[in-house]
A and B are shown apart, each in its own frame.
Chain A
């Protein structure tokens, strides 16, 4: 009996290690969210206040507005970061600490602005294509060269945003995402993610805004051959619902925007290997943006995440991650 227990623990530890240092572990540890245009708009508009002397009427600066509400934006950002646990491997924080380079092209079109008296309705479509390249190499590790796990992510989404005059912004939409291995040019994972969310921003003082954001969604995914050997895995085992609440403060200091944030996410899985899995993910971050020009941003960021899990295989899923890095972003708006 004791032998069996030791064997089970050893097997579990072994599978934990293998799972953690694999594409499956990385996919499982990746957060996929529908964008929140309301939150982005708050971040974008928080800085750059013009100083104009007061008068009774106020300064009258003419604007050029589009007649229709249609607009588009395209951008590219490049980030290099030091990640202490890039694959989200279970256990200690410092695993395969790596410099990871991420390049992303993204686009979004706003399909109209519909004034409904006490609220404004805006549909969006958008998408992105991102490349993630690992650099870690260690001949003594299970995965000797992490660059074999490099992948590209494609996303596309349809989103409806309703901004109410109370300041609450409601959103609902669906996103499609897939990850392809650049090494094998095969699809590793794809999912549909319908979700709803709400954002509320309010002024804390002249230089700071508080932003509350909450979302609820359901991931319907297909993962290809989780570890290549265990028959108990199914392609839908990463399906889950998530409920996330986050709070961030946006400080504007000169041209800098400093954004500390915290979020907590509860995830519940029901399928296959994960039939009784429940995760809680805590994330703390600090992001600093500096606009070099109107559409050219420099960013510095650091994030820490901790996931706790319960269920039959909780040891597989509990991790800590820490990232610190910088990046440049270009956005053109039309």
Chain B
């Protein structure tokens, strides 16, 4: 009995190991997408990858100006946008050098995200956009989801739909968090809209948008740009406000401002 149990456990752990170590496969590609086989140390030649090709850990994937790829394996959706570069060490471990990527799952997982400087571990389920920043870190943008994100120096934080976290430094810590307009991001994101397969979490994203609307106090007349250093985050101001501080431009209104102000 004990022997049977031990064999059963061994079989489960072996299967789990192989599953966890599985590389994603390319299920959609558009535009130019190149790869470099890093295991061939003597030749650094690029080649184009094809559908169903395994995105193995030795491949550095680079997308062109209109290039996009997608992998849907084991209920994990991975997408990499244009002008991006990254490597899948496995379907649960992704390194992003530049550009942006999306991860989506409905089943709780443990996923490691890393960039040139920073790394973080996500545990849970959700739809997450990553964007590499100039400072070597990345933006962690959960559109919806339940779970936690952990960094070495920053500890563990619960994720909130629409709350962007800056992941910075080595050892990695959390930068500022910003609640961002999920609806606007969804409408304008090619990682969401430029793929033939709709994400399975659209309903949950709708609910996250609804929660934002219920809690909405105001919208800043600004768009978040790149994090050029660990201390600086670009904010692009728009609109007619004369206020020099974009953070104060829209939401703070007096009594009559609430009646007559424009958005």
Contacts and interface: CB of A to CB of B under 8 A. Distances in A.
A332 B185 CA distance: 27
Contacts of A295: 258-261
Contacts, number: 156
Interface residues of A, number: 44
Contacts of B141: 57, 60
A57 B219 contact: no
Most buried by A among B179, B211, B223, B247: B211
A66 B215 contact: yes
Contacts of A115: 211
Interface string A117-136: 11110100000000000000
Contact of A294 (B164, B212, B263): B263
Most buried by A among B214, B216, B255, B263: B214
Main secondary structure of the interface of B (DSSP, over half): mixed
A330 B220 CA distance: 23
B81 A294 contact: no
Contacts of B259: 293, 295-296, 330-332
A58 interface: yes
Contacts of B218: 63-64
Contacts of B220: 61-64
Contacts of B214: 69, 71, 110, 113, 120, 122
Contact of B180 (A62, A66, A332): A62
Interface string A319-334: 0000000000011111
A44 to B, nearest CB: 9
A294 B262 contact: yes
Contacts of B223: 52, 59-61
B213 interface: yes
B78 to A, nearest CB: 14
Interface string B220-263: 10111000000000010000000000010001000100111111
B203 A294 contact: no
B184 A65 contact: no
Most buried by B among A63, A113, A334: A63
A58 B185 contact: yes
A293 B262 contact: yes
Interface in A141-190: 163-167
Given A61-B180, A63-B179, A166-B203, A56 B219 contact: no
A45 B213 contact: yes
A53 interface: yes
Contacts of A4: none
Given A57-B191, A59-B223, A65 B217 contact: yes
Given A56-B189, A63-B181, A69 B215 contact: yes
A48 B263 contact: yes
A58 B188 contact: yes
A62 B210 CA distance: 16
Contacts of B81: 56-57
A59 to B, nearest CB: 4
B203 A165 contact: yes
A57 B160 CA distance: 18
B1 to A, nearest CB: 39
A109 to B, nearest CB: 13
Most buried by B among A65, A122, A165: A65
Contacts of B263: 48, 294
Interface of B: 81-84, 99-100, 129, 131, 139, 141, 146, 162, 164, 178-181, 184-193, 203-204, 206-207, 210-220, 222-224, 235, 247, 251, 255, 258-263
10 contacts: A48-B263, A60-B141, A62-B178, A62-B222, A63-B220, A166-B203, A294-B260, A295-B258, A295-B260, A295-B261
The 3 closest A-B pairs by CB, nearest first: A58-B189, A56-B81, A58-B185
Given A60-B224, A64-B216, 6 more contacts: A50-B187, A56-B83, A56-B100, A60-B141, A63-B212, A66-B215
